[in-house]
Structure 1
Amino acid sequence: MRDVARLAGVSHQTVSRVLNNHPNVRQETRLRVLDAMRALNYRRNLAARTLVTRRSRTLGIIGFETTLFGPASMLYGIEDAARQAGYFVTVATIPDLERASVLDAVDRLCQQSVEGIVAIAPKPTVTNGLHHTPAGLPTVAVGGGTETDASATVRIDNTAGARLATQHLLDLGHPTVHHIAGPADWPEARERVEGWRQTLYAAGAAVPPVAPATWTARSGYEQGSRLARDPAVTAIFCANDQLALGALRALHEAGRRVPEQVSVVGFDDTPDSAYYLPPLTTVRQDFAELGRRSLALLLSGIGRQRDPRPPQHVVLAPELTLRASTAPPAGRRA
């Protein structure tokens, strides 16, 4: 830093102010310091800064190995929000969602002196693992959890999203709605089943058996092929857009036109869903807002680590995105 100060013709304190984005530095001086830093290839020593300030300005994120759109988008949203808030991020990726893997990730992050941990928590094993962090270390579970958890939580209202999808199909005039569900051991999938079922009960509509699946297009294709053979099926709500993609192909191969003969709704609003054939009506989750809210909760926890107040639980409302994959059944069209 003294070399930078000497080259820029400023004081050591001025260099420090530039590094910390202090507002009381003239723009001309700031640019001169930055030019000197580039000329000397200067990089701040984060380890030394941590020793001096006793703050790492680093947050830990626990993710898991997956190509699923939802968890991957949550990870990006959290990382982006942290970067904009001036924090570094270290990610601990776990091979599965078992308790031992979560505890190992917590231990690895704590060894790096993180100031808080955000975990992408689609299953209770992840949320429960956060209970074993050192006392006073703030934690937030994203995508799962309930109001009874000891950690703060941020999640989408999956039950409300399923209601939106199912009610939309009923309002179009479909006598009932079939559901291709996600894995039963995922709370998100169970909540979507519950929202679908509640809406059918409230409307006095028949409640068909759940079509169990994984989160993959292949699984949606398999269940879609089965449903396509039943001419009474006119509306299908899929637990995510990948399932809907598989169902759309199965319906096409069976000669069931969408939406003329069968309407299909997905969940997530992936970037590709607008380019399915036909473009998919789906429930949108705001993953950027999910990241911002989870980071805000974590930073709030960092600011009041000795505050005994109970953890906050934030539930975000989804939205229905209408496209061309839904229409009234043939007998109800004008």
Structure 2
Amino acid sequence: MTAESDRATEPDRVRAPNIRDVARVAGVSYQTVSRVLNDSPSIRPATLARVRAAIDELGYRPNQAARALVTSRSRTIGVLSAQSAHYGPSTSIAAIELAAREAGYRLTITNIASSEYASIKSGLDYLMSQSIEALIVVAPQVRVFEALDDLQVAVPFVTLEATGLNRAHSLWVDQVQGARLATRHLIELGHTEITHLSGPQDWIEAEARMQGFLRELGDADLRTRAPILGDWTAHFGYYAGLELLRYRDFTAVFAGNDQMALGFMHACRDSGLSVPDDISVVGFDDIPEAAHFAPPLTTVRQNFAEIGRRAVALLLGELRGETELSHDPVQAELVVRQSTARAR
């Protein structure tokens, strides 16, 4: 027997199933299978069920590139990200990917090197070259959104940002409300001298949390202190804490994120102070490790996964031509643990 005949009799199981295999098992034409894959509304429920059962039985996976050629649709959502390595953005992107995959879409992600205009334009040009049908922007610096306004994005898009100023395109967790919850918690515990460790000045979230902090103090007629501008890191929280604790003219700290809160609590320990007996500390984000800080951290929880899911739902609704789409903010939640106590 020749090598050619060996190959000719090689079992079919080594070949990936195709659309005609699905049609054979389901007892329909391959054109019917194609209509099911393209979400045609004309398919009868019983036929739809048979085709889907055959797809599951065979483990058939459609060739997305081939489908794009036939339908002129890429079924691809682009994600423009600035900080995908951080907990919040990475969690949102994971939820975006899952929701997109469940809807039959795939993601193309590009991380911009900086918030400079040229970098943003380059990232956006790359995504558009991939024939994306919609865009999600996970890049919380002010200049990113200024550049997007100037570049006039040609596909449906949604931005995950904290202000909600552009309600037609934005989806956000209410950062101001979250910061007010954190500050009010400290005030209700009797703290009247509260310091805020803020994030970087050009980050939208940092500005929103700072505004929430200042508004809550103002409504309570308490003295406001100039927030300390940081960089989101535990390293900054530690060294800022060492400097602030030299004077110790406050009894509580609201940190702009959990990492800075962690660094500040480290500074308290190194200064011989107890959290929360001497100083109460509140963070923001509720990263998975926050419950295991020493002591466990009181913080503001953001539902990053819900934001990701809702971003995909909004875009898919817009692609379907729906007009009643909800852009209501996702509410933040105060999680009280053991890093806060009544003021002495």
Paired residues of 1:17 and 1:25 also in contact (CA < 8 A): no
Structure 2 counterpart SS, 1:141: strand
Query: Counterpart of 1:160 in structure 2: which amino acid?
Result: Q
CA distance in 2, matches of 1:185, 1:156: 18
Query: Following TM superposition, by how much is the alpha carbon of 1:33 offset from its aligned partner in structure 2, in angstroms?
Result: 5.0
2:251 counterpart of 1:234: yes
Instruction: Tell me the residue number matched to 2:144.
Output: 126
- How many residues align? The count is 321
Query: Following TM superposition, by how much is the alpha carbon of 1:140 offset from its aligned partner in structure 2, in angstroms?
Result: 0.9
Instruction: Tell me the residue number matched to 1:84.
Output: 102
Structural mapping, 1:11-50, within 5 Å = 11-16=29-34, 19=37, 23-25=45-47, 30-35=52-57, 37-38=58-59, 43-50=61-68
Instruction: Tell me the residue number matched to 1:328.
Output: 342
Paired residues of 1:15 and 1:33 also in contact (CA < 8 A): no
2:193 counterpart of 1:153: no
Per-residue CA distance 1:153-191 (angstroms, 9 max, x = gap): 011211111111111101101122111111111121111
Picking from 281, 284, 290, the partner of 1:264 is 281
Query: Following TM superposition, by how much is the alpha carbon of 1:6 offset from its aligned partner in structure 2, in angstroms?
Result: 7.5
CA distance in 2, matches of 1:259, 1:180: 17
Query: Counterpart of 1:304 in structure 2: which amino acid?
Result: G
Paired residues of 2:26 and 2:51 also in contact (CA < 8 A): no
Per-residue CA distance 1:173-211 (angstroms, 9 max, x = gap): 112211111111112111111111111122121212212
Instruction: Tell me the residue number matched to 2:192.
Output: 175
Compared CA separation, residues 170 and 52, structure 1 to 2 (3 A): same
2:289 counterpart of 1:275: no
Compared CA separation, residues 56 and 263, structure 1 to 2 (3 A): same
Query: Counterpart of 2:101 in structure 1: which amino acid?
Result: R
TM-score by length of 2: 0.84
CA distance in 2, matches of 1:298, 1:26: 25
Query: Structure 2, unaligned stretches of length 5 or more?
Result: 1-17
CA distance in 2, matches of 1:193, 1:68: 20
Residue range with higher mean Cα deviation, 120-129 or 276-285: 120-129
Structure with bigger gyration radius: 2
Compared CA separation, residues 211 and 147, structure 1 to 2 (3 A): closer
Per-residue CA distance 1:210-253 (angstroms, 9 max, x = gap): 12211100001011112222333210000000000000100011
Structural mapping, 1:85-124, within 5 Å = 85-124=103-142
Residue range with higher mean Cα deviation, 318-327 or 98-107: 98-107
Picking from 134, 154, 159, the partner of 1:141 is 159
Moved over 4 A (4+): 17-23, 26-35
Q: Which has the higher contact order (CA 8 A, sep 6+)?
A: 1
Paired residues of 1:123 and 1:144 also in contact (CA < 8 A): no
CA distance in 2, matches of 1:216, 1:303: 42
CA distance in 2, matches of 1:199, 1:48: 56
2:204 counterpart of 1:187: yes
Structure 2 counterpart SS, 1:258: coil
TM-score by length of 1: 0.87
Instruction: Tell me the residue number matched to 1:317.
Output: 331
2:180 counterpart of 1:163: yes
